[in-house]
Chains A and B, each alone.
Chain A
Amino acid sequence: MRKLLTGNEAVAEGIIEAGVEVVSGYPGTPSTEVILTLLPLVKELGIHIEWSVNEKVAAEIAAGAAWAGKRALTTMKMSGVNVAADSLASIAYSGCTGGLVIFVADDPGAHAGMPEQDSRYYAKSLVIPMLDLASQQECLDYVKLALEISEKIGGPVFLRSTTEVSHAASNIETGKKLKLEKKEAHFTRDIAKYTKAGSTWCMAQHQEALNRSVLALKVADNYVTESGIKVNETHFEPDSPCGVIYAGAVEGNFREALKRYQLKISWLKIGMVHPLPEERIKEFLAKVDRVLILEELDPIIEKEVLRLASPGDGEKKVKILGKLGHLLPLTGNYSFKQVKNALEVLLDTKLEAEPDPQLLQRAKELEVKRPTSFCVGCPHRGTYFALNQAIKNLKYKKGEIIITGDIGCTILGMNQPFESCWTEVAMGASIGLAQGFKWAGIEKPVVATIGDSTFFHAGIPPLINAVYQQVPLTVIILDNGWTAMTGFEENPGTIPLKEVNRTRVDIAEVCRGCGVEQVNTVDPYRPEEAIKAIMESLEYPKVSVIVSRRECALQAKRRRVKLPQRQVDIEKCTGCRICLNTLACPAMVFHPKEENNKPYMEITADCFGCGLCAFTCPTGAIEVIKDGE
């Protein structure tokens, strides 16, 4: 059937067609939609799908299922592989009996922020074969292929995507649901395979993992998928001395250029990026004089091609173009223009004129910057407002107190108008980093802010550390009940929906259980209470935790929670903009003097009724809209 699917939706379709029985993951752009697509179908499919507490746990769950003989898949963004890598290394050494696939989505161009790291390195270091996705059709086809390879070689397989492939959609052909034999879950005890006790076993396992990789390439190199895609494919154009070797998302722009400029050049597409098809590459190099390598991020393929191209005695020398000669950048995803320009160098000819740079320059100058801020009614607005106010009340100057931020919506506290957070490192890192500042000798209070899901993910060990080491620290957990930034996924602190079986874990109780003696729960919609608690915490001699708890406004709105909206009494409003400058709620619109006789603030119908603005207004101009108005 023909369907319009994004890459991630196609992966989900592949998971269904391939008969995967256990799917786990942790949300992270650009990987999140795979599980988001599957979750509503969980009953119908009769399989287990979960948002795990972090990527490491997710990978372990998938591995456990695969060790019991089932098909399993785990999803994460590139940063998540760092978290899961510890377990993945051991799992890869042991191998598996059921099919095990690790889906990782990289983000060249850092569209969602975070380091652009190239997860292809992990394939090599963890000894796990890796397929690199170039199109949405491959997203579907390669899930099946990856599972097939995994079962054939008896080890896990990486399936790597990038934002460009995961978030774009195209029409693809869906296939048939595989009819797999129903297998009982079964795990055979074999400590030589499944434990790491002693060098003999470890080295033997290492060798087996290396052997499996070789085998994986054998399966993939000449493989043609159901829809006709060749995993590794060589195309020779006998009359051209030029060739292109490419992998991954660049395929779209490369093929676009081939068609647009009717180029007749040879090309080699690499679908399995670890291990690389060395024989195929050598064969290709023998028939061309100049080669352009198209791969995003690090020059991994380029370096290998260079090695394979170094001529022996009497062999011809092939010119390799790519990142190492600075033709293409090491950062970002390749635009069509970059691919076109590189092809122009390869072919030593101009392909197409470019837009007038002066016009573009002028347009760039005029562009309007849109710093992102909290949503209308966002509870984090209240927390950062209270934090800034508490700092002020204790007579510290703005910018005197170090506030470490963390991953997720909560980091928006770094932007205007709050400008609270100073750092963003990795999941849970705000709490560890803050302790380092204290030990370095920072005498003023240090504050860590972190969201609920981020706290569960990796914030608990550093909190325990702070308790044990007796570090005076204020940890503010902004608990909005959802993993909101990535698209409102559940986490252990989410109030469970009726139809699912979950046991909610209370963050305040977790903190007490970790040994924190002072734990205060406040409501960020009640700033007075929050300010008081934060002030107390800043002066407390040990680690103390503030749980600032209020449901994400967007989720509350979806659940049809209704709070009394606010309006401005134009008579009382002096147009001082204190409300706007301290809170920047998107429901506020300022009308400057020109428009009317006097400047004033308007609160639009978008208002969620958090009430914070009323708290900031010095003239009491902001009031509750009375019923019937």
Chain B
Amino acid sequence: MENNFYLIGVGGQGVISLGQILADYALEEGERVKFFKEVGMAQRGGPAHSEVRMGEVFGSRIPPLSADLVVVMELAEGLKTLELVKPGGMVILNKKKIYPLDLMVHPEKYPKEEEIAYLFEEAGARLFWIDAGEIANEVGLPLAENIVLLGVITYLASLDKEIILAVLKKNIPYEVEKNMAAFDRGYKIAEENIAEKEKGEA
């Protein structure tokens, strides 16, 4: 058995720390873990991604058609993961759009939500839409966008909630209450929208 998580977004969104939590979780669970982080120029507005693989895995990168769960923190960045999605796998699409300089002036050039959704559906993915930024704002911690998504992931991938929360507290020891609230909101939204039996293998 293996479980592959691919997380993608733009520098500053917490893609790497989200991956770190999942990787630490797998370690706690006693699973074999591979964790890859693309740091590159993320700090300077560039793309960022991380990959967490649990179970009987050897390579640190997820092979094509093998990602059980793809988490797209910045919508257009998700286009880079089309090759990786496992048919029948789950893709979490966060509605956040971060415009580079030229698109700020021409926002109409940014790819349409429907087109992105269409491509993923053609690739056989099941989609879960969320506006995690909005929810993070509502709990009063805009930075917790990734933690809202952690809640969603925990439900959709049937991770052990107790262990995830323990890891979360250890990795992010500040603003604990708000982070917990962000997590809960994400978890609940996933629970309300996706029935237990529809979660799939991920």
Contact = CB atoms under 8 A, between A and B. Distances in A.
Interface residues of A, number: 56
B64 A372 contact: no
Nearest to B51: A168
Contact of B82 (A171, A360, A370, A577): A360
A2 B32 CA distance: 10
A14 B34 CA distance: 19
A253 interface: yes
A438 to B, nearest CB: 32
Interface residues of B, number: 47
Contact of B35 (A169, A353, A370, A416): A169
Interface in B14-38: 23-24, 27, 32-38
Interface stretch (A240-248, A361-369, A493-501): A361-369
Nearest to A33: B39
Contact of A340 (B41, B61, B63, B83): B63
Interface string A332-355: 000111001000000000001111
A590 B43 CA distance: 21
A431 interface: no
A360 B83 contact: yes
B36 A168 contact: yes
Contacts of B57: 256
B58 A252 contact: yes
B133 interface: no
A370 B63 contact: no
A366 B59 contact: no
Contacts of B134: none
Nearest to B110: A368
Main secondary structure of the interface of A (DSSP, over half): mixed
Interface in B86-125: 100-101, 103-105, 107, 110-111, 115-116, 119, 122-123
Interface string B118-156: 010011000000000000000000000000000000000
A171 B79 CA distance: 30
B186 interface: no
A374 interface: yes
A375 interface: yes
B85 to A, nearest CB: 8
Contact of A252 (B10, B24, B43, B59): B59
A368 B100 contact: yes
B197 interface: no
Contacts of B200: none
A171 B63 contact: no
Interface in A574-588: 577, 580, 584, 586
Given A111-B38, A171-B32, A355-B83, A256 B101 contact: no
Contacts of A167: 36-39
Given A169-B35, A255-B58, A589 B23 contact: no
Interface in B62-80: 63-65, 76-77, 79-80
13 contacts: A251-B58, A253-B59, A253-B61, A336-B59, A353-B65, A366-B76, A367-B76, A368-B79, A368-B100, A372-B41, A372-B46, A580-B101, A589-B104
Q: Which 4 A-B pairs have the closest CB atoms?
A: A168-B60, A252-B59, A255-B58, A256-B59
Given A4-B35, A256-B59, A366-B79, 13 more contacts: A167-B36, A171-B32, A252-B60, A256-B63, A336-B64, A340-B63, A353-B65, A366-B76, A367-B76, A370-B100, A577-B105, A580-B104, A584-B101
